[in-house]
Structure 1
Amino acid sequence: MHIYFLQHSDEDAPARLADWLTGMGHSYNVCELHKDEVPPRPSDFDALVVLGGPSPVSGGAQLGWSKRERQLIDRILKSNKPLLGLGLGAELIAEQLGAVVSPAAWPEIGWHTVTRHEDCALPLPETFDLFQWRERVFGLPEGCTPIGASAASPVQGFSWDYNRVIALQGHPEATPAWARAQYNAKTATEGPYTQFEADALDIGKRFDRLAPILDRLMLAWLDELID
């Protein structure tokens, strides 16, 4: 199976996702949209992952690739190919499915606990911690199943079309190096849901506990293709 990643910044790399795919015997390519690379065609991959990035996407050179990216997401939504969005990627999928994406009252940065929704269609624990870097929120698109909520966000993500499409605000792909890159490249705005670098990176075991969360998520997402 071949996966394509859409990447929006140097720091928002596939991280643990790349290791998971390699370990499972799959191949992948990365399209670095922020370097003006042309998005792939649907025929170039079996499944698509839209990674995180600066929020919101705006201005200048970004505008052209942002439009092409949205067109590709729309085509994949209308196809039968799996689509996964994380962070900014989740926002873009939510928008294409008709949800309103708006600035959050407070950013959600660092480690936060997600409580699984009773209707969640994914095999996730009742509660689990995710690393977050989120400044916007979105509503639940019509026809989608909620994943869960955190103290700062009532909609942490959703699944659609029997888990073929998954959007998640948090980052199960995070590693210590990935998280450090976020703090180095972005400004952590102070607020009740902001955890600064020293505290976030001091909890190393939490990164290890993301591995089974990512494994459950990916297996559910790619279930039909893997079978």
Structure 2
Amino acid sequence: MHVHLLQHGPDHEPARLTDWLTSMGHSYTVFHLYNGELTPPAGDSDALIVLDGPDDFVQAPPAWYKAESKLINRYLDGQKPLLGIGLGALWIADALGSVVAPGTYPETGWHTVRLAPDSPFDLPEAFDAFMWHRYVFSLPDEALPGGGSDAAPLQGFSWDDGRVVGLLYHLEVTPQSIEPLFTHHALNAERRDFMQLEADIRQHPRRFDQLAALLDRLMSQWLRPASP
């Protein structure tokens, strides 16, 4: 399979996603939309991943978002797998008619996700994932919830029998990929109940290795129906 990935800023890279795609025999192309690259045609790939991006883009989307929005809707109307992470999940939820708004409690660092009873995700009933967001979404119509955390009861969703997946939390990050967040994307919020300090986030580096197995389970489930 050939997968397209849409990147929205230099500090929000695919991280472990491209390694996973390569290891599974898939090819991929990363489109750096923030750097002037055009949004690809929908017919040029077998699946689409919409990556995270700056929170500011939720309220003030960049000029190129118009073309990206059309592409997202093309995938929603089609039959190919579509995955959104962070900002990508927010934009997919918005395209499905969900309410996207600031959450009561912004989240940074490591937090426990508990699967919803009817979640279709092939993941443990509870697991730690990496968070860096202050916006949340409501559950799209005809979607199944993917579970939630103490700060955000809805951390993900699955739509159209699992063909479309949106995740607020991150399984793809590495110690290297999160470093720019500390420097350039600190979340400013009055409520800091679920915002960890840098030292606490870095305290247990093995957590990043544990994410790799979770990412493998999720990605395999997401792409399995479309694989030849």
Counterpart position of 1:6: 6
Find the aligned partners of 1:104 and 1:116 in 2 and give their Cα distance: 19
Find the aligned partners of 2:89 and 2:204 in 1 and give their Cα distance: 26
Q: Do 2:58 and 2:87's aligned partners in 1 also have CA atoms closer than 8 Å? A: no
Q: Do 1:180 and 1:197's aligned partners in 2 also have CA atoms closer than 8 Å? A: no
Q: Do 1:188 and 1:196's aligned partners in 2 also have CA atoms closer than 8 Å? A: no
Once the 2 structures are TM-superposed, how far is the Cα of residue 209 of structure 1 from its aligned partner?
0.6
Counterpart position of 2:205: 204
Counterpart position of 1:187: 186
TM superposition score normalised by structure 1: 0.96
Equivalences for 1:144-159 in 2 at 5 Å? 144-159=143-158
> Any gaps of 5 or more consecutive residues in structure 2?
none
Counterpart position of 2:214: 213
Q: Deviations over 1:116-162 (max 9, x none)?
A: 00100111100011101111011001100000010000110100111
Once the 2 structures are TM-superposed, how far is the Cα of residue 222 of structure 1 from its aligned partner?
0.2
Find the aligned partners of 1:211 and 1:16 in 2 and give their Cα distance: 8
Q: Does 1:30 align with 2:30?
A: yes
Counterpart position of 2:117: 118
Q: Do 1:11 and 1:182's aligned partners in 2 also have CA atoms closer than 8 Å? A: yes
Find the aligned partners of 1:163 and 1:26 in 2 and give their Cα distance: 20
1:18–1:124 CA distance, 2 compared to 1 (3 A): same
The one-letter amino acid of 1:195's match is: Q
Q: Do 2:105 and 2:152's aligned partners in 1 also have CA atoms closer than 8 Å? A: no
Find the aligned partners of 2:107 and 2:196 in 1 and give their Cα distance: 8
Provide the aligned C-alpha RMSD in A.
1.4
Once the 2 structures are TM-superposed, how far is the Cα of residue 59 of structure 1 from its aligned partner?
8.5
Describe the SS at the equivalent of 2:67: helix
TM superposition score normalised by structure 2: 0.95
Once the 2 structures are TM-superposed, how far is the Cα of residue 212 of structure 1 from its aligned partner?
1.1
1:58–1:122 CA distance, 2 compared to 1 (3 A): closer
> Any gaps of 5 or more consecutive residues in structure 1?
none
Q: Choose 112-121 or 49-58, whichever is displaced more.
A: 49-58
Find the aligned partners of 2:188 and 2:108 in 1 and give their Cα distance: 8
Q: Deviations over 1:169-227 (max 9, x none)?
A: 01110100011121122114360010122210121011011011101110110011224
Identity of aligned residues (%): 47
Q: Does 1:76 align with 2:60?
A: no
How many residues get paired? Answer: 226
Find the aligned partners of 1:58 and 1:122 in 2 and give their Cα distance: 26
1:25–1:216 CA distance, 2 compared to 1 (3 A): same
Q: Do 1:4 and 1:28's aligned partners in 2 also have CA atoms closer than 8 Å? A: yes
Q: Do 1:57 and 1:66's aligned partners in 2 also have CA atoms closer than 8 Å? A: no
Find the aligned partners of 2:88 and 2:196 in 1 and give their Cα distance: 22
Counterpart position of 1:88: 87
Q: Do 1:114 and 1:129's aligned partners in 2 also have CA atoms closer than 8 Å? A: yes
Describe the SS at the equivalent of 2:162: coil
Q: Deviations over 1:26-70 (max 9, x none)?
A: 11111111112110001111100000011131698x532111111
The one-letter amino acid of 2:145's match is: P
Find the aligned partners of 1:162 and 1:121 in 2 and give their Cα distance: 9
